[in-house]
Structure 1
Amino acid sequence: MTTYGLVMFDLDGTLIETAPEICDAVNDTMRHFDLPEVTQTQVSDWIGHGTRELLVQALASSLETNVESVRSSDSFAEIAAEFDKHYQSRCGTRSHLYPQVRETLVALRERGVKLAVVTNKEGRFTETVLNFHEMRPLLDFVVSGDSLPTKKPDPAGIEACLTLFDMPRNRALFVGDSSIDVATARNAGVAVWALPYGYNMGQPIEACAPDRVIADCSALLNK
């Protein structure tokens, strides 16, 4: 079996369970503007394209309108700014690492494997969540949703990692929880393993046809 020199991870739904506090921030925002609140299940299904797109989906649902109307609304910038305040204050309040995450990353680092996160979450929130859970020191590189001109499923984030570490594609692995992650890895020409417990728009991860579905991150230590 291939020995990977670089393992890249998605963040939300892969390393850290973040949906509860994202839902809290969305509903903080809804209450501020006297709008109907959304459910935890809805928020979990909307995770994947970054918090800005998630907010668009939430507003479209709450207002019973379409996403195009939300994006073009004169009030969206104000609502988004309010959400940013709430999410920044909520980061870390109800999120937690999934089982075996910290232990696995520590063990991989001890083996000399390079570790990176490639997420669509905006950088300010990515850093806040990683720092709250004391994960940043375990990572060699972080690519957030606003680090580059494009986001997943565009392969630019993976390409940046490959270039930085001068890593051939056949020694790089992407680990995620959604069809977005699988598509990103396929677009970059690297192997992809998927976790079944995250946020895949309500669909089973097996439907995305990753190279492997693993129960938790500890499977990375047996490769």
Structure 2
Amino acid sequence: MFDLDGTLVETAPEIADAVNDTLRRFELPEVSQQQVNDWIGHGTRSLLIEALAFSVKTDVASVRDSGSLPLIAAEFDRNYQRRCGTRSHLYPEVRETLTALRELGVKLALVTNKEGRYTATVLEVHGLEPLLDSVLSGDTLETKKPDPAGVQRCLAQWKVRPDRALFVGDSSIDVATARNAGVAVWALPYGYNMGQPIEACHPDRVIANISALLADPASPC
């Protein structure tokens, strides 16, 4: 099971583009790429709220309760759908590794907090959907990561024991999700862990890139 943003696909540049497109539309100060990187993880709506709170110098709760949020969110939705796929790219060895795992008969799932409409666009642009057996987005279930429901859904779907499963992600959210589901977790160091080193989350292993899933005999795969 894999996270998406920061794990399989580098998406932060186009997310920042969409956020700043939206802020400019409402004549608000823009945010930096690093800020967007640090806000990624809880879904795009949460990220937009963080950006608005910073831009108008208020707190997240005030933005969330604002009557203008639906209008701004609708503008962001248009901008991000337009930007999806324009400046994102696969991380090294992603396509090759997923293809090889499928050929070995390994079940592959995506468990992301990104909303389904954006997830579908990113997967289509980068040709990943045919390589995945299941896709669980941030609005597929009632809860998001770090709630383990998405992981548990995958295990139940394929009748796989937790000790025969592996979650691969890039953030403390992913590590917590795997721990909550009782599965092993490997982490990549190049993603969006809210500006913190991934080692601080204590995953079972930190791997240089996703091809380690094929090279290491200790993998549950």
Q: TM-score range by the shorter chain?
A: over 0.9
Displacement, 1:219? 0.1
Q: In the alignment, does 2:88 pair up with 1:117?
A: no
Residue in 2 that maps onto 1:4: none
Residue in 2 that maps onto 1:208: 201
CA–CA distance in structure 2, aligned partners of residues 118 and 140 of structure 1: 11
1:57-102 deviations in whole A, cap 9, x for unaligned?
0000000100000000000000000000000000000000000000
Displacement, 1:136? 0.2
Equivalent residue letter for 1:50: G
Residue in 2 that maps onto 1:5: none
Aligned match for 2:181, one of 180, 188, 193 = 188
Residue in 2 that maps onto 1:98: 91
Aligned match for 2:49, one of 46, 56, 74 = 56
Displacement, 1:152? 0.1
Displacement, 1:11? 0.1
Residue in 2 that maps onto 1:139: 132
Aligned match for 1:169, one of 162, 174, 180 = 162
Q: What's the secondary structure of 2:211's corresponding residue?
A: helix
The residue correspondences of 1:14-29 to structure 2 (distance < 5 A) are 14-29=7-22
CA–CA distance in structure 2, aligned partners of residues 203 and 197 of structure 1: 11
CA–CA distance in structure 2, aligned partners of residues 131 and 163 of structure 1: 26
Unaligned runs of 5+ in 2: none
Aligned match for 1:37, one of 21, 30, 48 = 30
CA–CA distance in structure 2, aligned partners of residues 212 and 203 of structure 1: 16
Equivalent residue letter for 1:157: G
1:89-141 deviations in whole A, cap 9, x for unaligned?
00000000000000000000000000000000000000000000000000000
Q: In the alignment, does 2:158 pair up with 1:157?
A: no
CA–CA distance in structure 2, aligned partners of residues 100 and 14 of structure 1: 11
How many residue pairs get matched?
A: 216
Q: What's the secondary structure of 1:61's corresponding residue?
A: helix
Q: What's the secondary structure of 1:120's corresponding residue?
A: coil
Residue in 2 that maps onto 1:89: 82
CA–CA distance in structure 1, aligned partners of residues 51 and 198 of structure 2: 23
Residue in 2 that maps onto 1:72: 65
Unaligned runs of 5+ in 1: 1-7
> TM-score, structure 1 length as denominator?
0.96
> TM-score, structure 2 length as denominator?
0.97
Displacement, 1:174? 0.1
CA–CA distance in structure 2, aligned partners of residues 150 and 125 of structure 1: 17
Equivalent residue letter for 1:40: Q
CA–CA distance in structure 2, aligned partners of residues 80 and 165 of structure 1: 36
| RCO comparison, higher one (Cα < 8 Å, 6+) | 1
CA–CA distance in structure 1, aligned partners of residues 159 and 25 of structure 2: 48
Equivalent residue letter for 1:177: D
Aligned structure 1 segments of 4 or more residues deviating by more than 6 angstroms: none
Equivalent residue letter for 2:6: G
Equivalent residue letter for 2:85: G
